[in-house]
């Protein structure tokens, strides 16, 4: 025990050093653990004395990982991604297995069983590496991120059937039909009974555990259910991981599933780090040194081959070739569960020790290359899209263009997520002509009968022409792909210098580059959410609405100055100008039947003298008057355009009861939400 404990402590201490170095080199943490195993393994420094014990502990990590995957795969999660999961995932795995099996059967001393096994190995990709990189880059909400997640989910689902197929492919299960049916019936009966008991009794058990309000009991119950189910399936001749996966699916139905998964996640990460370290220990550096050219060549072939086989699974769903390239390169590595599959295949003699070492070497190299491939993918996707020049991928799906061509002075909405839907809704209510562009074909098909929505990639000039970008007044880019936002901004500004471009971005640091590329206004989710937070906090402390709005205006002005300094080289001169430039704004306000201004002339209102506000325009019955005659009398439903400092505009809100009522209603809603 002392030897095992010292080995584990030594592994974690060395992994700290290696992962810090990998972090500096922009490599994944998973790669750091793999390299730690390579250095500590019996084929390198040999500092670990009991490799077998480390591998057995690592198996617990795999079981817990499958358990958490089962918990995350609730019915709702699968329903949201059902088409990309089942269509994209089936095509990706199916095409890969068929292609690899066909190629393997052409080689001597190979049969379809070995080919099918190798196909399963090649088809799997690393959820841990891909999702970690995409999350750090803010790409999980992009079309490529969602499709990658969907395919990875389906791969995780298919791990259990693949593990079950290994002994069948190896020919180790030699049963008669009667024995086979009897065994299947026995396993199905026991598992069915367990699942039935869990379905009716699990919620009650979890309710009793949660009433104790003790984290230790909750964690013990979670681990007991996970490993108990895993041991049961192992006793039945099935996989340890399969049982853990089934336990996760059962607990996913519980109303306390979030508490369960949050408690076990840290332990999953610890055991999974040991799993990756144990995989690295298997790599024979001597074999790699003697076959370095062979391994490097096959690593390149593997990445290209797997990428090409993944492409159809994305293209067939109606996405542009650029998205398909990004997804394909993102998934062009060996998955963590492939190591589990390979280990069982080695024990079942489905491939030789040399082939196993070659597979491990290719796996580690493909994982190390993944961050660079994901970074390269957008540029390569743009290049492929330009080379192919296929009209069906660049142009919108609809053939009718009369409506779009007749649009003028309209709004172009790029992206139809939550922000795009809200913008389209208010544009429709305000009688603003608009057209929507969305890359997700399912979203387009669902909304094409109720919205002027088209399918296509806004980075392509021909698509922007089709949307009437040269005649448009405003373009709102509300998508989650930072690289695509920059590309669309550049192209739209080049095609229409007078276009007003509003871009949504995630972080404040992305505002300045977008302003330099031509965006007139950039909305940062990070910045606006910070304002909303202090807005809500101050409202609960009953700080006057005018003061809150003044604080928000001041913060926005400071942020504006900072962005302008970042955007222009002559920052010092501009800062001096901004220091003396008032915080001026134009605001449109409606005269209601309850307004004190009703029946009062502009001269009698003394808005400029009493409030410091200038009326620069008046909209009445569709006609705009500018400048406004001082003798004009304000009437109900008039819209006045006011010019002043923002704090002055907030101060005159009592003259416009509708605006004041909306502000008070917002504060009331927030108070009710807090009480609820």
Question: What's the pLDDT at 412?
Answer: 93
The mean-pLDDT minimum among 116-125, 199-208, 292-301, 558-567 falls in: 558-567
Q: Which of 385, 417, 449 is the last residue of a domain?
A: 385
| Interatomic CA distance for residues 476 and 436, integer angstroms | 10
Is residue 221 a part of any domain in this protein? no
Residues 6 and 102 in one domain: yes
Average pLDDT over residues 279-300: 86
Q: Which residues lie closer than 8 Å to 511 by C-beta, 6 or more apart?
A: 505, 522, 524, 527, 563, 566
CATH number of the structural domain spanning residue 133: 1.20.1530.20
> Tokens standing for 140?
């999980």
- Asked if pLDDT for residue 665 goes beyond 50, the answer is no
CB neighbourhood size of 174 (10 A)? 7
Reported as a pLDDT band with limits 50, 70 and 90, residue 591 is: confident
Question: What's the pLDDT at 260?
Answer: 76
Higher-pLDDT residue of 527, 312: 312
Residues 280 and 131 in one domain: yes
The mean-pLDDT minimum among 323-327, 453-457, 559-563 falls in: 559-563
- Asked if pLDDT for residue 584 goes beyond 60, the answer is yes
Running DSSP on this structure, what letter comes out for residue 676? -
Per-residue 3-state assignment (H helix, E strand, C coil) for 262-330: HHHHHHHHHHHHHHHHHHHHCCCHHHHHHCHHHHHHHHHHHHHHHHHHHHHHHHCCCCCHHHHHHHHHH
Helices 112-123 and 143-170: crossing angle, nearest 10°? 150
Reported as a pLDDT band with limits 50, 70 and 90, residue 563 is: low
Question: What's the pLDDT at 673?
Answer: 42
Q: Which of 339, 357, 385 is the last residue of a domain?
A: 385
- Contact (Cβ atoms closer than 8 angstroms) between residue 265 and residue 65: no
Is residue 247 a part of any domain in this protein? no
Question: What's the pLDDT at 676?
Answer: 42
Nearest alpha carbon to residue 310 among 324, 293, 300, 289: 324
Is residue 200 a part of any domain in this protein? no
Using only C-alpha atoms, what is the Rg of the chain?
Answer: 31
Is residue 54 a part of any domain in this protein? yes
CATH number of the structural domain spanning residue 523: 3.40.50.720
- Asked if pLDDT for residue 568 goes beyond 70, the answer is no
Query: How does pLDDT run across 391-415, given as a tens digit for each residue?
Result: 444 444 444 444 445 678 899 999 9
Is residue 669 a part of any domain in this protein? yes
Residues 623 and 670 in one domain: yes
Question: What's the pLDDT at 429?
Answer: 87
Enumerate the β-bridge partners of residue 454: 437
Average pLDDT over residues 78-90: 76
Residues 420 and 547 in one domain: yes
| pTM for the structure as a whole | 0.64
Query: How does pLDDT run across 471-522, given as a tens digit for each residue?
Result: 899 999 998 888 889 889 998 998 998 899 999 888 777 888 888 888 988 8
Average pLDDT over residues 256-261: 72
Residues 484 and 546 in one domain: yes
Range of the domain at 36: 2-61+75-182+270-385
User: Helices (DSSP H) in 467-544: which residue ranges?
Assistant: 482-495, 511-517, 525-540
3 state DSSP class of 621 = coil
Residues 110 and 158 in one domain: yes
CB neighbourhood size of 558 (10 A)? 11
Percentage of the chain with pLDDT > 70?
82
Q: Which of 528, 548, 575 is the last residue of a domain?
A: 575
- Contact (Cβ atoms closer than 8 angstroms) between residue 238 and residue 232: no
Sole residue written with tokens 């970690």: 132
> Tokens standing for 183?
């065994």
Average pLDDT over residues 547-554: 76
Residues 456 and 566 in one domain: yes
Query: How does pLDDT run across 334-381, given as a tens digit for each residue?
Result: 987 888 888 888 888 888 888 888 898 898 888 888 888 988 888 898
Average pLDDT over residues 557-566: 61
3 state DSSP class of 376 = helix
Question: What's the pLDDT at 308?
Answer: 93
Higher-pLDDT residue of 362, 83: 362
Reported as a pLDDT band with limits 50, 70 and 90, residue 81 is: low
Question: What's the pLDDT at 550?
Answer: 77
Helices 51-72 and 2-24: crossing angle, nearest 10°? 60
Enumerate the β-bridge partners of residue 633: 601
Residues 477 and 555 in one domain: yes
Could you report how far apart the first and last alpha carbons of the chain are, in Å?
53
| Interatomic CA distance for residues 273 and 11, integer angstroms | 10
Residues 402 and 362 in one domain: no
CATH number of the structural domain spanning residue 592: 3.30.70.1450
Residues 379 and 398 in one domain: no
- Asked if pLDDT for residue 138 goes beyond 50, the answer is yes
State the chain's maximal CA–CA distance in angstroms.
Answer: 102
Enumerate the β-bridge partners of residue 643: 586, 614
Residues 275 and 365 in one domain: yes
Is residue 22 a part of any domain in this protein? yes
> Tokens standing for 386?
């330009």
Is residue 595 a part of any domain in this protein? yes
| Interatomic CA distance for residues 24 and 8, integer angstroms | 24
- Asked if pLDDT for residue 588 goes beyond 80, the answer is yes
Question: What's the pLDDT at 400?
Answer: 40
Helix (H) or strand (E) holding 623: strand 623-625
Question: What's the pLDDT at 1?
Answer: 52
| Interatomic CA distance for residues 69 and 92, integer angstroms | 20
Residues 425 and 570 in one domain: yes
Burial class from Cβ neighbours inside 10 Å (0-12, 13-18, 19+) for residue 607 reads buried
Is residue 123 a part of any domain in this protein? yes
Domains of the chain: total: 3
Burial class from Cβ neighbours inside 10 Å (0-12, 13-18, 19+) for residue 63 reads buried
């Amino acid at each position: 025990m002392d030897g095992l404990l010292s080995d584990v402590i030594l592994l974690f201490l060395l992994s700290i050093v290696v992962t810090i170095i990998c972090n500096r080199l922009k490599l994944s943490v998973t790669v750091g653990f793999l390299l730690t195993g390579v250095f500590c393994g019996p084929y390198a420094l040999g500092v670990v004395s009991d490799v077998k014990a480390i591998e057995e502990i690592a198996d617990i990590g795999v079981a817990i990982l499958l358990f958490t995957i089962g918990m995350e795969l609730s019915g709702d999660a699968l329903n949201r991604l059902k088409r990309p999961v089942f269509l994209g995932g089936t095509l990706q795995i199916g095409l890969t297995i068929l292609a690899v099996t066909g190629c393997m059967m052409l080689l001597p001393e190979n049969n379809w069983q070995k080919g099918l096994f190798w196909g399963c190995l090649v088809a799997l990709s690393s959820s841990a590496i891909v999702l970690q990189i995409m999350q750090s880059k803010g790409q999980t909400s992009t079309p490529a991120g969602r499709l990658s997640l969907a395919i990875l989910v389906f791969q995780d689902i298919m791990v259990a059937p693949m593990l079950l197929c290994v002994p069948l492919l190896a020919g180790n299960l030699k049963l008669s039909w009667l024995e086979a049916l009897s065994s299947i019936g026995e396993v199905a009966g026991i598992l069915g009974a367990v699942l039935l008991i869990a379905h009716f009794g699990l919620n009650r058990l979890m309710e009793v555990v949660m009433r104790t309000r003790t984290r230790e009991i909750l964690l013990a119950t979670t681990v007991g259910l996970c490993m108990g189910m895993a041991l049961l399936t192992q006793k039945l001749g099935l996989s340890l991981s399969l049982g853990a996966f089934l336990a996760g699916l059962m607990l996913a139905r519980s109303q306390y599933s979030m508490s369960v998964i949050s408690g076990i996640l840290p332990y999953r990460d610890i055991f999974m780090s040991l799993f990756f370290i144990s995989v690295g220990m298997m790599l024979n550096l001597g074999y790699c040194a003697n076959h370095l050219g062979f391994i490097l060549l096959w690593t390149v072939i593997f990445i290209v081959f797997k990428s090409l086989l993944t492409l159809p699974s994305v293209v067939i769903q109606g996405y542009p070739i650029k998205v398909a390239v990004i997804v394909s390169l993102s998934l062009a590595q060996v998955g963590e569960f492939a190591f589990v599959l390979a280990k069982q295949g080695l024990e079942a003699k489905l491939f030789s020790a040399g082939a196993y070492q070659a597979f491990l070497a290719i796996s580690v190299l493909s994982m190390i290359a993944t961050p660079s491939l994901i970074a390269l993918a957008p540029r390569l996707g743009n290049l492929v899209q330009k080379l192919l020049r296929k009209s069906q991928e660049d142009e919108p799906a609809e053939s009718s263009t009369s409506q779009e061509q007749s649009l003028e002075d309209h709004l172009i909405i790029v992206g139809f997520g939550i922000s795009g839907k809200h913008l389209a809704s208010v544009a429709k209510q305000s009688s603003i002509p608009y057209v929507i562009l969305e890359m997700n074909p399912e979203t387009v098909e669902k909304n094409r009968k109720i919205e002027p929505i088209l399918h296509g990639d806004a980075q392509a000039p021909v698509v922007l022409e089709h949307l009437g970008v040269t005649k448009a007044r405003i373009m709102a880019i509300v998508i989650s792909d930072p690289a695509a936002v920059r590309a669309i901004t550049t192209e739209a500004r080049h095609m229409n210098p007078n276009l007003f471009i509003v871009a949504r971005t995630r972080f404040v640091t992305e505002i300045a580059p977008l302003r330099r590329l031509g965006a007139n206004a950039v909305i940062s989710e990070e910045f606006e959410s910070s304002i909303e937070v202090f807005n809500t906090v101050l409202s609960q402390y009953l700080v006057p609405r005018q003061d809150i709005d003044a604080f928000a205006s001041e913060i926005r002005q400071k942020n504006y100055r900072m962005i302008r300094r970042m955007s222009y080289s002559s920052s010092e001169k501009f800062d001096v100008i901004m220091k003396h430039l008032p915080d001026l704004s134009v605001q449109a306000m409606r005269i209601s039947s309850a307004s004190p201004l009703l029946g009062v002339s502009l001269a009698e209102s003394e808005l400029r003298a009493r409030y410091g506000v200038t009326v620069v325009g008046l909209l009445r019955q569709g006609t705009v008057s500018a400048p406004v005659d001082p003798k004009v009398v304000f009437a109900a439903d008039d819209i006045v355009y006011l010019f002043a400092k923002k704090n002055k505009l907030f101060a005159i809100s009592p003259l416009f009861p509708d605006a004041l009522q909306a502000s008070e209603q917002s504060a009331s809603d927030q108070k009710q939400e807090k009480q609820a």
